[in-house]
Amino acid sequence: MEIPYTVKPRPDTGLYNAKVGIWLFLASEVMLFGALFSSYILLRVGAPDGFWPDVSTGWPHGLLNIPIGTFNTAVLIASSVTVVMAWAALKAGNFAKFKGFMIFTVICAFSFLGIKSYEYNEKFTHYVVRMKDGTAVTGHFDHEFLHGFLDKANTRRDQKNAGLREANAKAKQEGKAPKELLSHLSNRFLTLEKFGEENVESVKMLVDVPSAFRYPVGMKPPAVGDGSKGSEHGEHAEPGGHFEKEVKLADVQSIAAFIPSTATFFAIYFTMTALHGLHVLGGALVLGYFAFFGRKMWHQEPERLTNRVEVAGLFWHFVDLVWIFLFPVVYLL
Amino acid sequence: MNTSTAHAPAHSTASAHGADHGHHEHHEPGFWQKYIFSTDHKVIGIQYAVTSLLFLLFGFLLMMAMRWQLAYPGKPIPVIGHALQAALGDDMANNGVMQADLYNVFGAMHGTIMVFLAIVPILFGAFGNYVTPLQIGAPDMAFPRLNMASYHLYFLGGIVMLASFFIPGGAAKSGWTSYSPLATINDPVHVINGQTLWLIGMVLLITSSLLGAVNFITTIIQMRAKGMTWMRLPFFVWAQFVTAFLLLLAFPPLEAAGIMQLVDNLLKTSFFLPSGLVVNGQQLAVSGGGSPLLWQHLFWFLAHPEVYVLILPAMGIVSEVIANNTRKPLWGYKSLVYATLSIGFLAFIVWAHHMYLTGMGTRISTFFQTTTMMISIPSVIILTALFISLWGGSIRFNTPMLFALAFLPMFGIGGLTGLPLGFNASDIILHDSYYVIAHFHYVVAPGTIFGVFAGLYFWYPKATGRMMNETLGKIHFAGSLLFMNMIFAPMFIQGLHGMSRRMYDGGSTYFGSGVGLDQHILNLNISITHAAAGLGFFQLFFIFNFFSSLVWGKRVTSDNPWQATTLDWQTPTPPPHGNFTTEPVAFRGPYEYSVPGAKTDFTPQNQAG
């Protein structure tokens, strides 16, 4: 038995099966991402008034790295061009050229993912500190302070774990349940509780200076733009810069990294970009498969391989298109 | 390039096809390849049928346990009560008595299983898979391996749903609608709880349906036999076509919502959690700012089109059976097709009529009230056309026809009782009462399930080569019709008296609280439960008939025992891999029964001249 129109188009529709299939699949993908974009709009319109990271939450602005995002957009667009060139090379019967363009496409895809994970890490080490008086600041922990803290904390945890391991070995002999070991801390995902466990009284922060943020009571908002950066009291910091600040943990309500649970903006940002990232990964694996393992099919059924590349290319354009919408929506607007 | 032209697909003739077959398959496929990892649409259809019928039975049993609790609140469940306690723990069934949590679990899972694991798979997966390629004259689906993957994903989703009963905290218990914030906060003790598995299971089922929908639409567009123009497609195929589009476009928003709720539950985000949410007197430690209404919009954006997924294929089956057994063409074939397409379009803009009472605003309610009234027009067109089709026919009252005939008034009752729910003024009173339960069960249970039975009795001889027993079938029909109505008709009365759904001890609450429900309304709970047991009893006739006919059923004497016109009956019985022995060509419309001057009272589509 043979399934008709797997390679040659059906005369009355002018399409081969997989092309119909991929367009239908893309229609469903439009509905998937469409639902997420709609959710974005509804959540943003419904967000409480006020400036994030104020307690009344509000909607954060300008927290994503626009230059890097722009570069990543260019990377993805470039890959969309080369995937067409790869398909055109196959149409012209040049497998070597196809392979070159396709490998370049896949490199672009993985570069995109690499850059995206750098951005993710940037967010995981960026913090919002909410104070008990209802105000809040955002920023990073001072490098020197942080490493001093991490060294001390992890040494203590290692010592404690050594003791726990001994106790667990004993417990195992006696048939008791072992106790869980303490995990190492890193500069990601720190919380007030984790600082509390290490008996830290205050943390040293490099507080961000976008003008819209609120500052703790008793601190004047920095006078923006007179050029002397990083002053102790923040009066002379410029936008995009930061100033140092010692924050007493007794005054702090919570410390949270820029992770999904911190604000609805991050929730939808991470959900949408991660889902898009999964699509990039899936597409890259398929395109890479054609580049590296397509030769056999090229010799047996060249038309079939060309069709497959075309269909995968359509998917790749869609993935690109989603990003073209995502970038302005989450980075710029 | 030479190689590719050699592989160019061709409509193989009978002999060429046979030769092809022998040439490519050097060995007989083993058990696993033949029954588990088969890519043959007919085997996959049967896999779907068997699995979904088992889920249908399981969903029914969950309901029986709930019915016991409603009729005899606080009394141990007979037979299975202590087994439930042993399997699910004291929190769920202490001393065999159904606890509130267990009622909620069974309620949520009854809905989920019936809709997503029983009815959709049997209509779309089983009948769609088995019959559609045959009716359009195709050798198989356009993507046979994708088809296999659809079934396996469906099966996996079912396993995840079943497994969720046995994890600590039990299965999902926030209703089949899984409204947030309830679905997020109702089991704070367990990180991976029933709701988590529900969501994972749903994502698997949704993916399965999406792949299936892509496959069906491609197959119907690309694989129609020569001469099988759009207006020569049997109505069943049209119904499947529109159903596939509904699944394709309505399911992804629920997938998005499912992902968001999963993130809410696991990563503590606030997509659906509003600011200042207080649970058990404590403010919830989440960032807030989310919208519970967002979940409801996304959920009903799927779940309303889903209602038409549940009914359109059943209408397709009923149409085939009616045309065949009245021995005359369907009345108004084109109206049926256009009405179905209209339903397919309107189904996407009626969803918020499930949300009149959420406070979303009267203007939006008015819009959705209008579209809801509009969608009843094509539904009535379909029903009317089917009724008129009966007029003047020489009707054969065999078992499939009896079920098809019963479908019409049952669906009619279900549909008409939906109108008061569609008007937002009357919905205020009826919302969340037993009236709603009665309404949609009339559509799905005596409606769709009767359509399913009609289809099972109708195509059984094609799939097995043997007829099902007519006497047992008629007993099954009579009992089912009687008890279905004894179950659901009283629920209208209960609902109109104000009895609320989703209350685990409905009977005793109303009895004790002085709400003022008359005793005879509460007594209906008992009679309904007895009727449900009666319904279960009469299904035994079907189960016995289904299996015993495999062995003792009367062998069919021809490939076309019902003397039908469509291409599915012009194949060998059961159809071999590849379906047709000669290339099918359609020369005429699908329902040429009793054509004046013809030799027989049916003229198959592939008969020339």
What average pLDDT does this structure show over B574-600?
94
The DSSP secondary structure of B386-445, one letter per residue, reads HHHHHTT------HHHHHHHHHHHHHHHHHHTTHHHHSHHHHHHHTTBHHHHHHHHHHII
CA angle B387, B349, B488 (to 5 degrees): 50
Query: Is A187 at the interface with chain B, CB within 8 A?
Result: no
**Is B249 an interface residue toward A (CB < 8 Å)?**
yes
pLDDT category, B259, cuts 50, 70, 90?
Answer: very high
Q: Where are the alpha helices (DSSP H) in chain A?
A: 17-45, 66-91, 95-124, 143-173, 192-197, 264-293, 295-300, 302-326
Give B539's contacts (C-beta < 8 A, 6+ positions apart).
B57, B60, B476, B480
How far is it, in rounded angstroms, from Cα A301 to Cα A219?
A: 72
Cβ neighbours for B414, distance < 8 A, ≥ 6 positions apart:
B439, B440, B441, B442, B443, B444, B446, B447
CB contact under 8 A, B20 and A1: yes
Q: Where in chain A is the domain with CATH 1.20.120.80?
A: 17-126+261-332
Residue pLDDT, tens place only, B470-517:
999 999 999 999 999 999 999 999 999 888 888 887 666 666 656 668
CB B254 within 8 A of CB B299: yes
**How far is residue B234's CA from residue B605's CA, in Å, rounded to a whole number?**
10
State whether B139 and A28 contact (CB < 8 Å): no
Which residues in B176-287 belong to E strands, given as ranges? Answer: 278-279, 282-283
* Interface contact B577-A1, CB threshold 8 A: yes
Which helix or strand (DSSP H or E) is residue A128 part of?
strand A127-131
Provide the number of CB pairs (under 8 Å) joining chain A to chain B. 170
Handedness of CA B119, B120, B125, B131 (dihedral sign): positive
Phi-psi bin for B598: left (phi > 0), alpha (psi -120 to 50), beta? beta
pLDDT at B19 over 50: no
A218: left (phi over 0), alpha (psi -120 to 50) or beta: left
What would the DSSP string read from start to end of B267-287? H---SS--TT-EETTEE--S-
User: Mean pLDDT: which of A149-158, A220-229, B504-513 is highest?
Assistant: A149-158
Dump pLDDT digits (tens) for B374-405.
999 999 999 999 999 999 999 999 999 999 99
Least confident of A257-261, A320-324, B337-341: A257-261
Average pLDDT over residues A115-120: 97
Task: Please say if the pLDDT value at position A317 is more than 90.
Answer: yes
| Per-residue pLDDT tens digits for B107-156 | 999 999 999 999 999 999 999 999 999 999 999 999 999 999 999 999 99
Is the model's pLDDT at B86 over the cut of 60? Answer: yes
Q: Tell me: pLDDT of B336 over 60.
A: yes
Q: Which residues, including other chains, have CB under 8 Å from residue B57's CB and lie 6 or more apart?
A: B539
Give which of B218, B220, B364 to mutate to test A binding, by max A Cβ within 10 Å.
Answer: B218
User: Looking at residue A233, what is its pLDDT?
Assistant: 46
At residue A214, the pLDDT reads: 47
Domain boundaries, chain B: 36-274+285-569
Q: Which of B17, B221, B290 sits opposite A264 (nearest CB)?
A: B290
First to last CA, chain B: 40
Structure tokens that stand for B218 in this block? 């491609």
Q: Which of B38, B216, B221, B364 to mutate to test the interface with A (most CBs of A within 10 A)?
A: B221
Residue A8 CA, chain-centre distance (Å), reads 41
Architecture of domain A17-126+261-332: Up-down Bundle (1.20)
- Determine contact: A46 vs chain B, CB below 8 A: yes
Nearest to B184 by CA among B299, B262, B111: B262
Any idea which of A47-61, B1-15, B216-230, B528-542 has the lowest mean pLDDT?
Answer: B1-15
Supply the ipTM of this predicted assembly: 0.92
Q: What per-residue confidence (pLDDT) applies to B34? A: 83
- Rg of chain B, C-alpha, whole Å: 25
- Residues B67-85: what's their mean pLDDT? 91
* pLDDT of amino acid B187: 85
The lowest-confidence range among A154-168, A319-333, B6-20, B547-561 is B6-20
Residue with tokens 């119904």: B239
A139 forms beta bridges with A127, A207
- Averaged over B563-576, what is the pLDDT? 95
H runs (alpha helix) in B327-361: 333-346
Return the residue of B nearest to A264 by Cα: B270
pLDDT at B590: 96
Phi-psi region of B502 (alpha: psi -120 to 50; beta: other; left: phi over 0): left
pLDDT at B21: 44
Interface contact A13, partner B, CB < 8 A: yes
pLDDT (average), residues B568-594:
94
For residue A123, the tally of other CB atoms under 10 A from its CB is 20
The residue in chain A having the minimum alpha-carbon distance to the alpha carbon of residue B296 is A39
Q: State yes or no: pLDDT of B31 exceeds 70.
A: yes
H or E segment and range at residue A208: strand A202-208
pLDDT band at A230 (very low <50, low <70, confident <90, very high): very low
Q: Which residue has the tokens 């009707």?
A: B395
Please give the share of chain B, as a percent, with pLDDT higher than 90.
82
| Structure tokens, B41 | 């649409």
- Give me chain B's average pLDDT, please: 92
Contact (CB, 8 A) for B248 and B179: no
CATH number assigned to the domain with residue range B36-274+285-569, chosen from the 4 options 1.20.210.10, 2.40.110.10, 3.50.50.60, 3.40.1710.10 = 1.20.210.10
pLDDT of amino acid A54 = 64
For B262-281, write each residue's pLDDT tens digit.
Answer: 999 999 999 999 988 998 89
CB atoms closer than 10 angstroms to residue B554: 13
The 10s digit of each residue's pLDDT in A296-311 is: 999 999 999 999 999 9
